Amino acid sequence: MTDYLKPLPKSDPVTAPFWESLHRGKVQVQCCGDCKIFVFYPRALCPACGSRKLAWTPVSGKGHIYSLTIVAPGRGPDIFKNDSPYVVTLVELDEGCRMMSNIVDVDAEDVKIGMAVEIVYDCVTEDVTLPKFRPVIPSKTSPHL
Amino acid sequence: MSGLRDATVVGVAESDKIGVVPDKSSLQLQGEATLNALADAGLKLSDVEGVFSAGFRPTEVAEYLGIQPRYFDGTHVGGSSFVVHLGHAAEAIASGRIDVALIVGGESGRSRVGLPAGFSGSHSSAQSMEGQFENPYGLPGAIGGYAMACARHMHLYGTTSEQLAEIAVAARQWAGLNPRAYKREPLTVGEVLASPIISWPFRKFDCCLVTDAAGAVVLTSLDRARDLKKKPVRVIGWGEGSDHQLISQIPDLTSGPGRISGPDAFAMAGVRHEDIDVAQVYDSFTYTVLTSLEDLGFCKKGEGGDFVSGGRIAPGGDFPLNTSGGGLSYTHPGMFGIFTIIENVRQLRGDFVNQSLRQVAGAKLGLVHGTGGKLSATGTVILAAD
């Protein structure tokens, strides 16, 4: 039983390894054995070169915000209408592929294009874990500071 | 090309009423638009051999109208479908397969009476690619997709909310000249900027209307058109293009497939950008216009904000654009493309010649550009009056 009412993904035979990896607290994405690009969403063939040699490959879960929109209260799909302003984003992973997600653990107004983010495993039900992202807080020992 | 006939638009019309029409179903609106467009042409239902529609299947529309078509096309790529149909219908007539084509679209988008199956707002299945990889995150439909594209355009090129507002203000100025427009009261840039955020960076007045309306377009060969009531408008170039369906799969978020459909249409027509007298460019959102003008090559990528500023696209400006008031101020039931064709044909026929600013004086060459889905598919058509 669950009280989570928002839309849930239903995996298919090709996409199941992605969803299963999230459920284990890891993330893996297909990589093309011929042209070497990372492919997302999961497919039966590489959309860049047509190869069928796609291999599930662990990725870092780190990336940056490619773009975003901030949805005003009352303006999203019905089941989201009671949420505070929330961020829907396209995250570009360090490996080069992009995925849609939400940015969490930060005020919506502070989210900017280009911001470094990392994956958060959001276990929304017993069976489904969604990939969400949060800003990477530079540590005090970072050489960039 | 020898052996091919010239295809012409000979009739265009909306449904009897547009705007808020709660007492009429979607198919009823399409039936009215069809009869009105045929009357505009001086043709009858029994003359129609080809039916082109999206939303409803061509067979659903044909059945309702009592037509038994020998040619049909249900290409459904969102709001651009009807502009794509215009090219397809021109091909069917040019090749001699049919003599009379009907393109019809529109719906009860506001009152939601008798909507076609799969009308926008219905959800894709949880196992579809959209259901798995987009719907869980609450993207607010088309608005959210275009908003993300606009946000990146602003980030890369410095495009401003004020520049987007100029597009909404110009549309409203044109609507003020069109008695059938839904929103006609004056609108200022300040009022656009003060309107509430829907899905940042879009505010209320960056977004199209939601109305009840249908439209229809009738085509035949130039030879037959010479015997009909209205001045024929030739279809001289067309193109279509797509580079994604889901917004998360778009190759470049700041560019749309107008860069595919536009060059094809211009090359086929053999005309240049500076030859275009009047243009209707799909305005689901203010940003849709801005990126489309860039993708079509009217200005360079990133320069759309400057291009639309300073009254250039408003009445009296040197680039008359969306002269009905567009989807932002005239009407927008859900899929707007059919209305871009209707308005451009009227301009090229000189239908408004007694209405000063409303008529683009001496317009001979027009461009129609539709965008469907989430910047997913475009159709571009170039029309010419003699």
pLDDT at B178: 98
In the residue annotation, B182 being an active-site residue is answered as: no
Q: Is B149 within a domain?
A: no
Q: Is B235 within a domain?
A: yes
Count A/B contacts: CB-CB distance under 8 Å: 113
Q: Is B135 within a domain?
A: no
Average pLDDT over residues A45-60: 98
**Shortest Cα distance from A126 to chain B (angstroms)?**
16
Q: How large is the angle between the packed helices B286-296 and B258-269, nearest 10 degrees?
A: 50
Q: How many domains does chain B have?
A: 1
A residues 91-120 lying closer than 8 A (beta carbon) to B: 98-102, 113-114
Contact B74, B53 (CB under 8 A): yes
Place of tokens 């008529």: B359
Judging contacts by C-beta atoms under 8 Å, the chain B residues touching residue A20 are none
pLDDT at B386: 87
Domain of B274 in residue numbering reads as 7-113+207-385
Interchain CB contact of B161 with A (< 8 Å): no
Q: Any residues with CB less than 8 A from the CB of B129 and at least 6 apart, and which? A: A41, B246
Q: Is B138 within a domain?
A: no
Q: Is B238 within a domain?
A: yes
pLDDT at B1: 44
The backbone torsions φ and ψ at residue A55, rounded to the nearest 5 degrees and listed phi first, read: -115, 130
User: Mind listing the domains of chain A with CATH numbers?
Assistant: 13-59 (no CATH), 60-136 (2.40.50.840)
From residue A84, alpha-carbon distances to A78, B196, B235 in Å are 13, 15, 50
The DSSP secondary structure of B50-115, one letter per residue, reads EEEESSS-HHHHHHHHT---SEEE---BTBTHHHHHHHHHHHHHHTTS-SEEEEEEEEETTT--SP
Q: Is B199 within a domain?
A: no
Interchain CB contact of A13 with B (< 8 Å): no
Interchain CB contact of A38 with B (< 8 Å): no
CATH number at residue B249: 3.40.47.10
Integer Cα distance of B217 and A145 in angstroms: 64
Interchain CB contact of B151 with A (< 8 Å): yes
Q: Is B124 within a domain?
A: no
Integer Cα distance of B218 and B37 in angstroms: 6
A72/B200 Cβ within 8 A: yes
Integer Cα distance of B173 and B355 in angstroms: 14
Query: What radius of gyration do chain A's Cα atoms show?
Result: 16
Examine residue B201 and say whether the peptide bond preceding it is cis (omega within 30 degrees of 0). yes
B253/A12 Cβ within 8 A: no
B141/A69 Cβ within 8 A: no
Integer Cα distance of B151 and B193 in angstroms: 16
Q: How many CB atoms lie within 10 A of CB B64?
A: 16
**Given B146, B157, B282, B287, which residue is catalytic?**
B282
B151/A10 Cβ within 8 A: no
Contact B346, B12 (CB under 8 A): yes
* Lateral strand order in the sheet of A38-39: A38-39, A28-32, A54-58
Interchain CB contact of B134 with A (< 8 Å): yes
Nearest to B366 by CA among B345, B352, B350: B345
pLDDT at A83: 87
- pLDDT range class, residue A145, cuts 50, 70, 90: very low
Interchain CB contact of A27 with B (< 8 Å): no
Interchain CB contact of B127 with A (< 8 Å): yes
pLDDT at A139: 56
A130/B253 Cβ within 8 A: no
B139/A100 Cβ within 8 A: yes
Contact B280, B322 (CB under 8 A): yes
pLDDT at B331: 98
pLDDT tens for A10-39 read 999 999 999 999 999 999 999 999 999 999
pLDDT at B118: 78
* SS3 state at A86: strand
pLDDT at B20: 98
B residues 167-226 lying closer than 8 A (beta carbon) to A: 196-202
Q: Is B27 within a domain?
A: yes
Comparing CB atoms, the residue among B126, B199, B249 nearest residue A7 is: B126
Which residues of chain B fall below pLDDT 50?
1-2
Interchain CB contact of B375 with A (< 8 Å): no
Residue B201 tokens read as 């960076």
pLDDT tens for A65-122 read 999 999 999 999 989 988 889 999 999 999 999 999 999 999 999 999 999 999 999 9
In the residue annotation, B157 being an active-site residue is answered as: no
